């Protein structure tokens, strides 16, 4: 904001973004200004610094006033051609960032909607018409630094990883001294991790292709491509990450797993690193485990009140087995941790055995599986039961031995939580029997099972009512009558969601409660179809039916439910 800050000062007062008293107090506090310094510019910066105002609020108000779109520049990655077209010097001097070519127009992000002179001048120089969009000046400056190779890339190592007595919290292996030539690579890798955490990505994928080194973030379950480093830097970036993850730099023939512990913004972050040799080099995937992200209540998981009440009743029991089922990445661990957090009281002893321990929880005894020394799931379970726990959590039931110990623990007065890989909740019964557990043991111990999938949630900042098309309604089995008392929503796209229309994810659930009748059927060896029919008669909703409720309530969209669940007639 430079060309007409006097207008902006008056504008934000008219819009009640800041009071005249605050403006007067700010000007009085500034006192004498340096020669050439604009008093209105200084007042604006001081109001923001004193948290009386935010640049985001100013920009949003200006966008509405001038009918200009506000963009989230933290999500953009201009091509090299665009960055060459608008050089760094021009970008920094005019606070402008090229976004993309739209036909013959160049879309650009600017901070000052009143600075038309700069836009006209730059358009003549570049010989291309400019279509401006607004962005907060602080975010725009950071994006310019990031896109042109500064700013984020120059994030200090200790800003990301914190300091210990030795200076940093990550110990490098022998021979890992940092050389001066390595500094740009270190800054790039650190900035990559910071950027992924800031965007709330769950994974960072670095994939060597034939002619380029691709970088992708998984955000809300969807992979999104980011601006990657040049192909020539591929070996240096991979070596740096392997060094940080404490895996062998010399070994490039077999897969390796490592771990990086980071701290940013006062939060502890774990990155689980997987290295896989491919045709064009080693592919690295880093799974980001944000310990703050697991502090979820049950409503935040996506439960409606009726299902939540049943779920709480099941997990609050004194004995039995409760299973959470679904494919990899369906949020099973998050649900289990949230359940443990809900029942974690001083009068209960809770022990978990996990491979690996993903999140450390206060008040819970967590055991890490170490197969190389004989600490398997089964061995850990046997030892845990001698610790007289009330609640036991097993990361996953994978074999008969683990399943039998879990069942026996449940039958001797322990509440056992675990996960299982099945497509739906009722299949957990047949899966246990297939593993080798006797049906009479399953019927006696199993209390319930929860199947789930994750769907993207409509962005609350830009959600708008919408009417699904007849084709969409048909795809999920809804009719026009079903919409009479409903308010389906769809995100229009905004700065907060990166113009995607979705922000965050919620679960769709299928909660299977083992009733007395179901116990008898399991004991008698009833088929999956028969068990499912009985569960439906007892009131169980399928994941598709739960998804339909979430479409009608405006939580998600038809597209998400169709992609995550199957029609009930094929179950």
Per-residue pLDDT of the chain (571 residues; tens, 9 = 90+): 544 556 777 777 777 777 777 777 777 766 554 444 455 566 677 777 777 778 888 888 888 888 888 888 876 778 877 888 888 878 888 889 998 887 778 889 998 888 888 888 888 888 888 888 989 888 888 888 878 764 333 344 444 444 433 333 333 333 344 454 457 788 888 888 888 888 888 899 999 999 889 999 998 888 888 888 888 889 989 999 998 898 998 888 999 999 888 776 666 778 899 999 999 999 999 998 876 556 567 778 889 888 999 999 999 999 999 999 999 888 898 899 889 988 998 889 999 998 877 777 888 999 988 888 888 888 888 888 889 999 999 988 988 998 999 999 999 999 999 999 999 999 999 999 999 999 999 999 999 999 999 999 999 889 999 888 888 888 888 888 888 778 889 998 887 787 788 988 999 999 999 999 999 999 999 999 999 999 999 999 999 999 999 999 999 999 999 988 987 665 5
Per the rule left: phi > 0, alpha: psi between -120 and 50, beta: everything else, 7 is alpha
Give whole-number Cα distances, 54 to 50, 139, 144, 250, 499, in Å. Answer: 10, 11, 20, 49, 21
Residues sharing a CB contact under 8 Å with residue 543, sequence separation 6 or more, in sequence order: 424, 451, 452, 453, 508, 509, 510, 564, 565, 566
Put residue 399 in one of left, alpha, beta given phi > 0 → left and psi -120 to 50 → alpha.
beta
The end-to-end CA distance of the chain, in Å, is 59
* Residue owning tokens 């179901």: 518
C-alpha–C-alpha distance, residues 489 and 145, integer Å = 36
Are residues 99 and 76 in contact, defined by beta-carbon separation less than 8 angstroms?
yes
Residue from 419, 367, 421, 423 nearest 396 by CA: 419
Q: What is the torsional sign of CA 71, 76, 79, 83?
A: positive
Contact by Cβ (8 Å): 490, 547:
no
**What is the C-alpha separation between 568 and 571, in angstroms, rounded?**
5
pTM beyond 0.85: the answer is no
DSSP string, 380-417: HHHHHHTT--SEEEES---SHHHHHHHHHHHHTT-EEE
């Amino acid at each position: 904001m430079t060309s007409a800050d006097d207008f902006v000062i008056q504008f934000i007062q008219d819009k009640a973004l800041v009071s005249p008293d605050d403006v007067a107090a700010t000007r009085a506090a500034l006192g004498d200004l340096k020669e050439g310094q604009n008093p209105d510019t200084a007042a604006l910066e001081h109001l923001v610094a004193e948290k009386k105002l935010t640049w985001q609020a100013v920009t949003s108000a200006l966008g509405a006033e001038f009918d200009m779109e506000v963009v989230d520049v933290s999500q953009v990655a201009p091509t090299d051609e665009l960055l060459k077209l608008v050089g760094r010097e021009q970008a920094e001097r005019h606070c402008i960032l090229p976004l993309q070519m739209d036909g013959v127009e160049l879309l650009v992000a600017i901070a000052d909607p009143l600075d038309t002179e700069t836009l006209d001048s730059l358009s003549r120089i570049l010989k291309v018409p400019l279509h401006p969009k607004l962005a907060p000046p602080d975010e725009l400056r950071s994006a310019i630094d990031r896109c042109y190779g500064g700013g984020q890339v120059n994030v200090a190592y200790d800003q990301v990883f914190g300091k210990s007595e030795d200076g940093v919290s990550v110990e490098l292996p022998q021979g890992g001294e940092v050389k001066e030539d390595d500094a740009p690579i270190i800054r790039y890798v650190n900035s990559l991790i910071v950027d992924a955490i800031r965007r709330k990505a769950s994974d960072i994928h670095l994939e060597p292709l034939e002619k380029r080194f691709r970088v992708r973030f998984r955000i809300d379950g969807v992979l999104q491509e980011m601006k990657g480093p040049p192909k020539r830097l591929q070996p240096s970036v991979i070596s740096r990450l392997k060094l940080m993850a404490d895996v062998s730099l010399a070994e490039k023939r077999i897969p390796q797993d490592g771990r990086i512990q980071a701290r940013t913004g006062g939060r502890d972050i774990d990155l689980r690193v997987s290295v896989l040799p491919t045709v064009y080099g080693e592919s690295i995937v880093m799974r980001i485990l944000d310990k703050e992200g697991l502090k979820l209540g049950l409503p935040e998981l996506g439960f409606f009140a009726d299902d939540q009440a049943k779920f709480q009743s099941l997990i609050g029991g004194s004995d039995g087995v409760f299973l959470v089922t679904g494919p990899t990445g369906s949020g099973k661990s998050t649900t289990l941790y949230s359940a443990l957090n809900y029942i974690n009281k001083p009068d209960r002893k809770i022990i978990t055995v996990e491979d690996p321990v993903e999140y450390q929880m206060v008040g819970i005894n967590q055991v890490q599986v170490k197969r190389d020394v004989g600490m398997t799931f089964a061995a850990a379970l046997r030892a845990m039961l001698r610790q007289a726990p009330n609640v036991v959590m097993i990361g996953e039931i994978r074999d008969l031995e683990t399943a039998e110990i879990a069942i026996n623990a449940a039958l001797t007065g322990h509440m056992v939580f675990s996960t299982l890989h099945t497509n739906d909740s009722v299949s957990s019964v047949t899966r246990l029997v297939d593993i080798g557990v006797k049906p009479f043991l399953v019927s006696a111990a199993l209390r319930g099972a929860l199947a789930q999938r994750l769907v993207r949630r409509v962005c609350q900042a830009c959600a708008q009512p919408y009417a699904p098309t007849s084709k969409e309604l048909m795809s999920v089995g809804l009719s026009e009558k079903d919409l009479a008392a409903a308010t389906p929503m769809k995100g229009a796209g905004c700065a907060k969601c990166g113009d995607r229309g979705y922000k965050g994810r919620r679960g769709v659930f299928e909660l299977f409660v083992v009733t007395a009748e179901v116990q008898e059927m399991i004991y008698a060896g009833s088929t999956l179809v028969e068990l499912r029919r009985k569960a439906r008669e007892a009131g169980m909703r399928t994941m598709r039916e739960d998804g339909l409720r979430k479409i009608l309530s405006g939580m998600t969209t038809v597209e998400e439910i169709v992609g995550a669940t199957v029609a009930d007639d094929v179950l």
